[in-house]
Structures are given as structure tokens and as C-alpha cells.
Amino acid sequence: MSVSSAQPATGEYGQANRARLRAEVLIVLGLSLGASAVYSVVAIANRLTREEALRDQTATLNAPLSEREVFDLIYQLLGIFFDLVPVALVAFLLWRSSRPHLGRLGIDFTRPGRDSLAGLGLALVIGIPGILLYLAGRELGVTVQVVPTALDEYWWTVPVLLLSAARAGITEEVIAVGYLFARLRDLGWSTWSIIIGSALLRGTYHVYQGFGAFIGNIAMGILFGWLFSRFGRVLPLVIAHVVIDAAIFVGYPWAAATFAWL
């Protein structure tokens, strides 16, 4: 897909429809990442006003939802399913009758091999500096201890963690990048305004983990936004994000046991 195929035609939306588009963006964000950003800001305010230092606090990403195994599994799957509903909503809103149907979101499946290789390469570029930034934040006392999973060891634990990684990658990249680029372009935003706005949103809904995570995710958002503006493809971003989260979620128990100092 070329960059231009992910952009609307000039003048596609008149002034009369801009208010509806703004309302649509606010509703989509209110149902997804915008709500997460608000909760994240409240969470960091709560953390900063405790007597306990930020570095001594913990954030658990995949926590048990029931003491009973079968209901924990049910709740985990329901949470993943309903978190993906806003993705279905933006796909519905931006669906086009002509192929590629989801071209405005930067999604097609014409180059799976190249997209996968690009995603894996990007995961390495982002993942290693991300770990170093996390460790630096812990040393400086500006990042909480992030526990990727506290799930008990069941037969379904690893599949659920992989689904959780997929949920994060799909939701964040499709909405924070694909959808926002499409709709903010409709509203007349410049490319760099969209990149910075998307990156700030990404940083904000991660700020509950501390300021190291806030800065790191802004940097990641700027890189991802620039890549999308350059190539118009969201699948490599999704793949990179899913690979990073899957490695962290699934690899955490082994890493915690092997490298206790981490």
C-alpha cells in the first residue's frame, strides 16, 4: 500500500461534518485508549501522593481475576474480547467498499512476509532500548516495578498471555496510529501534529508505570507514527508490538527466576 492510499481525498469532509468527526474521535477514544489515559493519569497522581516511593510500588499487567481457575479463564477471555470491540468499531467506521477495505487504517494482507520481517526487526529496535530505559528508570526511582504477569500456572496461562499481547498490539496500533491518522487528517491536522498527538496519547496511557514508561512510549509513538506516515502500513507496527509484549509476558517468569536482581 502506498502512503497516499491511507489518506482521504482532499476536501472529502466539509465544515458541517467536522463537528461529527470530532465527536466520533472523542467517543472512540472514550471507549478505548482515551479512557485508559484518564485512568493512567489518576493512577500516577495516586502513586505520587503516597508515602511509599514510586520505585517501591508495583504495577501488575496481567493479574488474576478470580481465585477459581475456570472463572479466571472466563474473565480473562471476556476482558480480551471486549477490549477488542473498539477495534471492530473503527474498522466499521472506516470500512470502504473498494479494496483494500481497511486501507484507511493502513491494513491489507498483500505483503505478509515483508510485514512480518519488518515487524520482527522493529521489535528488536524497540525492545532492547525499552528494557534499558526501564532499568534506568528503576535506578532513578521514576519507574514502578512492572510485573508482566501474576497469573497462576495453568494449562491456559501461556495462550492467554499471548492473546493479551495480541490485544495490546492490535488495540494500540490500530486505534492510536491507524485510526487517529485517518480521522485527524480528515480534520486537517498536519502529519507531525498527528505524530506528536498520537505519541503523547501513547505515553499518557502508560504513565501509570512511571515517568520512564511515559518518556519511552512517547519515543516509541514518534517512531511508529513516522513509519506509518512514511509507509502507510500498520501491520508491521502491530507485529512488533505483539512480539515485544509476548516476549515480556511469557518470558517474565523465567527471567524473574534466572535474573532475580531484575
How far is residue 124's CA from residue 215's CA, in Å, rounded to a whole number?
Answer: 19
Please check the confidence at residue 10 and state whether its pLDDT lies above 50.
no
Share of the chain above pLDDT 90, in %: 88
Whole-model pTM: value is 0.92
Q: Residue 254 — very low, low, confident or very high, per pLDDT cuts 50/70/90?
A: confident
What are the backbone dihedrals phi and psi of residue 94, each rounded to the nearest 5 degrees, phi first? -110, 10
Give per-residue pLDDT as tens, 39-86. Answer: 999 999 999 999 999 999 999 999 999 999 999 999 999 999 999 999
In the predicted model, is pLDDT for residue 262 greater than 80? no
**Torsions phi, psi of 170, nearest 5?**
-70, -50
Q: What is the DSSP string of 91-140?
A: HHHH--SSSSTTGGGT---S-HHHHHHHHHHHHHHHHHHHHHHHHHHHHH
What is the rounded distance in angstroms from the CA atom of residue 117 to the CA atom of residue 236? 8
Check pLDDT > 80 for residue 214: yes
% of the chain residues with pLDDT over 70: 93
